[in-house]
Amino acid sequence: MSGELLYLNGTYMPLADGRVPIEDRGFQLGDGVYEVVKVENGRALWLDEHLRRLERSLAAIKLAGASIGHRLGEVIPELVLRSGVQQGAVYVQVTRGVCPREFELPADPVPTVLAYTRNVSGPSAEAIQAGEALHPVADPRWAHCDIKAIDLLAAVLAKEEARAAGAQEVAFVGPDGMVREGGSSNVFSVIDGVLRTHPANERILDGITRGQVLLLAREAGCQVEERAFTLAEITSAGDSKCEVFIASTLKGIMPVVRVGTHVVGDGHPGPVTLALLDLFRRKVALLGGLEMPPASS
């Protein structure tokens, strides 16, 4: 399929031709980490930030430096160029490699390093204006969500529960009622004019888009607090006092108009959300070498 090209352990090939041995620890034990990089106008955005986070994740699982010999900072732009992808994503994964299935870490692992491209369209203007719904779920995950690990079964099951409830995304909630993050996104609120999101600790993944949102908000003069908020705070705020949105690599900023059965605000994207969305779209356009898009309405 056009746009789908794979880099696997030093070799470029069609994605459909890729093969990984049965005893790869990523396949059998979920022993690996990953990144997803947005491609806009044929350019991999915030690539350095993604690769730095990849190295942090590798270090956290005792696999530091596993990708260095592959020079992903050069491979990924080359992969995008060869694939012809203009708008899409690069998926990057590093596992501990192939060895007999044991829990003990191998002494001299030979990591499996891969990356592939895919055409992916961003959300339409109509989808943004319609907004999305979040489905609250008690967080069942391990206490190292700051590692971008390939074991995503908890998120898969939670997202399926959300889909069955008519929602597009999950809101993982801690025992204290604090909203942590989405299944594949960071969650933000605007309560009484203050932009808030969960602090970057072991309970959430410090999203690359999350960081850009906070930067843009501060540059725009918004009052910003990296402080968690409760589910009750966003479901009890008055119509004009609360906004909610999520942020992720592929969706960018997406307004949230419903959390569970509660309608957020007046049921439409709020003014702070739309202002930040406009700033974000303009930054993406600038990095992608595109003309500035029209202001969001």
Considering the domain architecture, whether residues 249 and 168 belong to the same structural domain is answered as yes
Alpha helices in 86-182 (DSSP H): 125-130, 153-164
Instruction: Give per-residue pLDDT as tens, 42-75.
Output: 999 999 999 999 999 999 999 999 999 999 999 9
Instruction: Give per-residue pLDDT as tens, 216-255.
Output: 999 999 999 999 999 999 988 665 679 999 999 999 999 9
3-state secondary structure of 90: strand
Asked, for residue 293, whether it belongs to a domain, the answer is no
Final residue belonging to a domain, choices 119, 139, 159 = 119
Tell me which residue range forms the domain holding 86. Answer: 5-119
Phi, psi of 88 (to 5 degrees): 175, -140
Per-residue model confidence (pLDDT) at position 297: 45
Final residue belonging to a domain, choices 102, 119, 136 = 119
Just list the catalytic residues: 148
Q: What does the DSSP assignment read for 11-63?
A: EEEEGGG----TTBHHHHH--EEEEEEEEETTEETTHHHHHHHHHHHHHHTT-
CATH number of the domain to which 134 belongs: 3.20.10.10
What mean pLDDT comes out for the span 72-89? Answer: 98
Report if pTM > 0.85. yes
Final residue belonging to a domain, choices 119, 142, 163 = 119
Considering the domain architecture, whether residues 103 and 130 belong to the same structural domain is answered as no
Domain count, the chain: 2
**Which of 106-120, 142-156, 219-233, 279-293 is least confident?**
279-293
For residue 254, what are the β-bridge partners?
A: 246
**DSSP character at residue 124:** P
What gap in Å lies between CA 266 and CA 149, rounded to an integer? Answer: 37
Per-residue CA distances from 113 to 26, 147, 196, 254 (Å):
11, 17, 36, 31
Per-residue CA distances from 265 to 95, 176, 262, 269 (Å):
43, 24, 9, 8
What mean pLDDT comes out for the span 269-296? Answer: 89
Considering the domain architecture, whether residues 156 and 283 belong to the same structural domain is answered as yes
**Residue 56: alpha-carbon gap to chain centroid:** 16
What gap in Å lies between CA 246 and CA 81, rounded to an integer? Answer: 30
Per-residue model confidence (pLDDT) at position 290: 85
Considering the domain architecture, whether residues 212 and 89 belong to the same structural domain is answered as no
Of 55, 113, 45, 52, the closest CA to residue 77 belongs to 45
Per-residue model confidence (pLDDT) at position 296: 53
Per-residue CA distances from 183 to 135, 147, 204, 212, 296 (Å):
10, 14, 10, 19, 26
Confidence of residue 3 (pLDDT cuts 50, 70, 90): confident
Task: Confirm if 119 and 85 have CB atoms less than 8 A apart.
Answer: yes
Considering the domain architecture, whether residues 92 and 160 belong to the same structural domain is answered as no
Instruction: Give per-residue pLDDT as tens, 166-212.
Output: 999 999 999 999 999 999 999 999 999 999 999 999 999 999 999 99
Q: What does the DSSP assignment read for 175-223?
A: TTSBEEE-SSSEEEEEETTEEEE--SSTTS---HHHHHHHHHHHHTT-E
Task: Confirm if 77 and 4 have CB atoms less than 8 A apart.
Answer: no
Considering the domain architecture, whether residues 108 and 129 belong to the same structural domain is answered as no
Per-residue model confidence (pLDDT) at position 1: 46
Task: Confirm if 63 and 71 have CB atoms less than 8 A apart.
Answer: no
What gap in Å lies between CA 289 and CA 43, rounded to an integer? Answer: 9
Asked, for residue 297, whether it belongs to a domain, the answer is no
